[in-house]
């Protein structure tokens, strides 16, 4: 099976950056509901800078994704700036207009993050625009090949899947920043805020994970003809690899929630905080790998 490396890499960076922009912008609204106090505000400053970088990279990777798709259509990268080819791509294909809308959303996201003052309003706009960019991918993928009710169901499943995944994976970044910043003079105050943010994230995390799993299974059922395809087709095996990585993420998340979080109330608070931070970094690493598999999955033919 041949992998289109520029296309897969562009999709991988695109998925990761949009999920960071969405999940990290959404995080303060549920994990720090009463607004960020001085220390949390500083931790979110780091996150805000990363969200801005992620937005720029999401736009650049979208352009590389388009160029790779166009190169496949016209037989090479030399022709991708040809005006007729661009016109045919954007105006004479079913996905061209989707890309025009997506580019407008991505440019708006970059402008909002570059021009607006750091505020809850900016975070809300950034969460909404990156959510729209993530959801609109559904019209570029396999789901869009359906018609009627089946199309609606598959688009809905796809949208719920990538938004739940974005909330979880993107939320891990500000959470890691909070834990990394914890520790000097005002430890007391900050630890309690960290504990509260960890508890709120882990509570909503259960909902995100359940949604990802249910829609992941649904997406698999929509794509595969027989359950044996899971083991006998490259597409099926890619789903198995993805689900296994997801399983490892669940183990790290469950250990955080049921083993380490309760220990934060005990004398071993310091060890528990360090173990939590390590586990969150493991989850982040596995999440990046899952997105790599997702980047390949959408370019593969589900059925032989
Ligand atoms: C943290 C966990 C997960 C993340 C971050 C994730 C991410 C994604 C992304 C970004 C896509 C869109 C791919 C595209 O547009 O081409 C996707 C699609 C999909 N995911 Fe997941 N996913 C996760 C877990 C799962 C699980 C556990 C399963 C299976 C049980 C699954 C099965 C699928 C399927 C079948 C698709 C459809 C791909 C297509 O359109 O051909 N995912 N996922």
Contacts of 267 (CB under 8 A, 6+ apart): none
Minimum-distance ligand 1 atom for the alpha carbon of 212: 24
Q: Walk along the chain (304 residues) and give the pLDDT tens digit of each residue.
A: 678 999 999 999 999 999 999 999 999 999 986 555 555 566 677 888 999 999 999 999 999 999 999 999 998 989 898 999 999 999 999 999 999 999 999 999 999 999 988 888 999 999 999 999 999 999 999 999 999 999 999 999 999 999 999 999 999 999 998 888 765 544 445 577 788 899 999 999 999 999 999 999 999 999 998 889 999 999 999 999 999 999 999 999 999 999 888 887 776 678 888 899 999 999 999 999 999 999 999 999 986 5
Contacts of 192 (CB under 8 A, 6+ apart): none
297, 300, 302, 303, best to mutate for ligand 1 pocket (most atoms within 8 Å of CB) = 297
Minimum-distance ligand 1 atom for the alpha carbon of 299: 16
Both tokens assigned to 25: 């912008």
Give the separation between CA 214 and CA 184, rounded to whole angstroms.
42
Give the DSSP letter string of 106-169: HHHHHHHHHHSPSSHHHHHHHHHHHHHHHHHGGGGSGGGG--HHHHHHHHHHHHHHHHHHHHHH
Minimum-distance ligand 1 atom for the alpha carbon of 166: 5
Is the separation of the CB atoms in 37 and 194 below 8 Å? Answer: no
> C-alpha 140: how far from its chain's center?
16
Identify the structural domains of the chain with CATH numbers, from first to last: 5-297 (1.20.1630)
What is the 293 CA–ligand 1 centroid distance (Å)? 8
E-strand spans in the chain? none
Is the separation of the CB atoms in 11 and 34 below 8 Å? Answer: no
Is the separation of the CB atoms in 48 and 33 below 8 Å? Answer: no
Contacts of 172 (CB under 8 A, 6+ apart): 23, 280, 283, 284, 287
């Amino acid at each position: 099976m041949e992998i289109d490396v520029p296309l897969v890499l562009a999709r991988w960076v695109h998925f990761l950056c949009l999920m960071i922009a969405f999940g990290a912008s959404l995080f303060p609204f549920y994990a720090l509901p009463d607004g960020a106090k001085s220390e949390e505000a500083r931790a979110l400053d780091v996150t805000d800078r990363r969200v801005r970088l992620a937005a720029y990279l999401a736009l650049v990777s979208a352009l590389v994704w388009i160029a790779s798709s166009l190169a496949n259509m016209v037989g090479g990268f030399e022709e991708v700036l040809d005006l007729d080819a661009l016109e045919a791509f954007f105006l004479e294909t079913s996905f061209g207009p989707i890309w025009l809308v997506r580019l407008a959303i991505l440019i708006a996201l970059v402008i909002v993050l570059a021009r607006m003052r750091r505020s809850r309003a900016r975070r809300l706009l950034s969460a909404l625009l990156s959510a729209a960019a993530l959801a609109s991918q559904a019209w570029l993928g396999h789901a869009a090949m359906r018609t009627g009710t089946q199309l609606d169901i598959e688009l809905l499943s796809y949208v719920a899947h990538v938004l739940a995944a974005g909330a979880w994976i993107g939320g891990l970044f500000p959470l890691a920043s909070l834990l990394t910043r914890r520790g000097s003079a005002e430890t007391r105050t900050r630890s309690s805020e960290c504990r509260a943010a960890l508890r709120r994230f882990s509570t909503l995390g259960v909902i995100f994970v359940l949604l990802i799993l249910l829609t992941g299974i649904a997406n698999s059922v929509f794509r595969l003809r027989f359950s044996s395809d899971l083991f006998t087709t490259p597409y099926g095996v890619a789903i198995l690899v993805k689900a296994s990585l997801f399983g490892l993420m669940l183990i790290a998340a469950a250990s955080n929630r049921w083993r380490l979080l309760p220990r934060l109330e005990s004398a071993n608070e310091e060890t528990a905080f360090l173990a939590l931070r390590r586990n969150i970094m493991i989850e982040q690493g596995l999440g990046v790998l899952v997105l790599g598999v997702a980047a390949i999955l959408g370019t593969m033919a589900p059925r032989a």
